Amino acid sequence: MIGYVAKRLITMPLLLLGVITVAFLLSHFTNADPLTSIVGERQMGNQAVVQAAKERWGLDRSLPEQYLIYLKNLLTGDFGVSFRTKQPVSQDLLARLPATLELVIAAMLVGAVTGVTLGVMAANFRDRLTDHFARLFALVGSSIPVFWSGLILLYIFSVSLGWLPGPGRLNPRIEAPPFVTGFYTVDSLIAGDWSKFVDAATHLILPALALGWTVTGIVSRMVRGSMLDVLQQDFITAARAKGASRMRILLNHALRNAFLPTLTILGFSFAYLITGAILTETIFSWPGIGSYAVAAARGLDHPAIIGVTIVGGAAFLLANLATDLAYLAVDPRVRLGGQSER
Amino acid sequence: MSITSLSAPRFHRPEWATAPVILGAVIALFWVVTLLTVHWWTPYDPTMLAGMRFSPPTWENWLGTDALGRDVFSRSLYGVRQSLPIAIAVIGCAVLIGAVLGALAGYLGGLVDEIIMRAVDVTLSFPPILLAMAVTASLGPGLRNAAIAMVIVWWPIYARLMRAQVLAIREREHVEAAVASGAGPARVLFKHILPLCWSPIIVNATMDFGQIVLLAASLSFIGLGAVPPTPEWGQMISEGALHFYRWWIAAGPGLAILSIVLAFNFLGDGLRDILDPRSK
Structure confidence at residue A38 (pLDDT): 56
Interface of B with A in 101-160 (CB under 8 A): 117-118, 121-123, 125-131, 133-140, 160
State the pLDDT at residue A332: 59
The domains of chain B, with CATH numbers, are 75-279 (1.10.3720.10)
B137-189 pLDDT per residue, tens: 888 888 999 999 999 999 999 999 999 999 988 888 888 888 888 888 888 88
Closest residue by Cα to residue B154 from B201, B196, B197, B198: B201
Determine whether the interchain pair A312/B126 forms a contact, defined as Cβ–Cβ distance below 8 Å: yes
Closest CA to B122 of A12, A259, A286: A12
Q: What is the predicted pLDDT for the residue at A339? A: 40
Per the CB < 8 Å rule, is A147 touching B238?
yes
| CB-based contact B130 A293, cutoff 8 Å | yes
Chain B segment 172-231 residues within 8 A of A by beta carbon are 210, 214, 217-218, 221-224
This complex has an ipTM of 0.87
The DSSP output letter for A339 is S
Backbone phi and psi for residue A88, each to the nearest 5 degrees, phi listed first: -60, 135
Interchain proximity B222–A294, CB inside 8 Å: yes
Does residue B3 register a pLDDT over 60?
A: no
Q: Which chain A residues touch B242 with a CB distance below 8 Å? A: none
For residue B259, the model assigns a pLDDT of 95
pLDDT digits (tens, 9 = 90+) for B191-235: 888 888 888 899 999 999 999 999 999 999 998 888 888 889 999
> CA-CA distance, B209 to B89, in Å (whole number)?
10
Of B118, B131, B223, the CB nearest to A309: B131
Report the C-alpha gap between A248 and A276 in whole angstroms. Answer: 36
The residue among A33, A137, A143, A291 with the most chain B CBs within 10 A of its CB, best to mutate, is A143
**Cα–Cα nearest to A98, from A204, A173, A172, A209:** A204
Which among B138, B164, B214 has CB closest to A30?
B138
| pTM for this model (two decimals) | 0.88
Nearest to B267, CA basis, from B89, B30, B35: B30
* Domains located in chain A, CATH noted: 2-75 (no CATH), 89-330 (1.10.3720.10)
**pLDDT at position A249:** 82
Average pLDDT for residues B13-42, to the nearest whole number? 88
Residue B170, SS3 per DSSP: helix
SS3 at position A242: coil
DSSP assignment of A262-299, as one string?
HHHHHHHHHHHHHHHHHHHHHHTT--SHHHHHHHHHHT
Torsion of CA B272, B274, B277, B280, to 10 degrees: 50
User: Which burial class, exposed, middle or buried, applies to B188 when counting CB atoms under 10 A from its CB (0-12, 13-18, 19+)?
Assistant: middle
Predicted confidence at residue B116, as pLDDT, reads 94
Q: Which residue of B130, B224, B237 is in closest CB contact with A148?
A: B237
Share of chain A residues as helix, strand and coil, in percent rounded to the nearest 5: 75, 0, 25
Residue B15 above 70 pLDDT?
A: yes
Distances from the Cα of A122 to the Cα of A114, A134, A214, A248, angstroms: 12, 6, 18, 16
Q: Which chain B residue's Cα is nearest to A306?
A: B134
pLDDT at B1 over 50: no
Q: How far apart are the first and last CA of chain B?
A: 34
**In which residue ranges of chain A is pLDDT below 70?**
1, 27, 30-45, 53-59, 330-342
What is the torsional sign of CA A117, A120, A125, A131?
A: positive
SS3 for B17-85 is CCHHHHHHHHHHHHHHHHHHHHHHHCCCCCCCCCCCCCCCCCCCCCCCECCCCCEHHHHHHHCHHHHHH
Say how many CA atoms lie within 13 Å of A143 toward its Cβ: 22
Instruction: Report how far residue A306's alpha carbon sits from residue B22's, in angstroms, rounded to the nearest whole number.
Output: 44
Nearest-CA distance from A193 to chain B in Å? Answer: 31
pLDDT at position A65, please?
A: 79
Structure confidence at residue A342 (pLDDT): 34
| Digit-coded pLDDT (tens) for B238-267 | 988 888 888 889 999 999 999 999 999 999
Model pLDDT for residues B76-110, shown as the tens digit of each residue: 999 999 999 999 999 999 999 999 999 999 988 88
How far apart CA A59 and CA A66 sit, in angstroms, is 8
Name which of B193, B200, B206, B213 is nearest B254 in CA terms. B213
- Contact present, A69 and A20 (Cβ < 8 Å): no
CB B57 within 8 A of CB B248: yes
Amino acid B226: pLDDT: 84
Q: Quick check: B21 contacting A, CB < 8 Å?
A: no
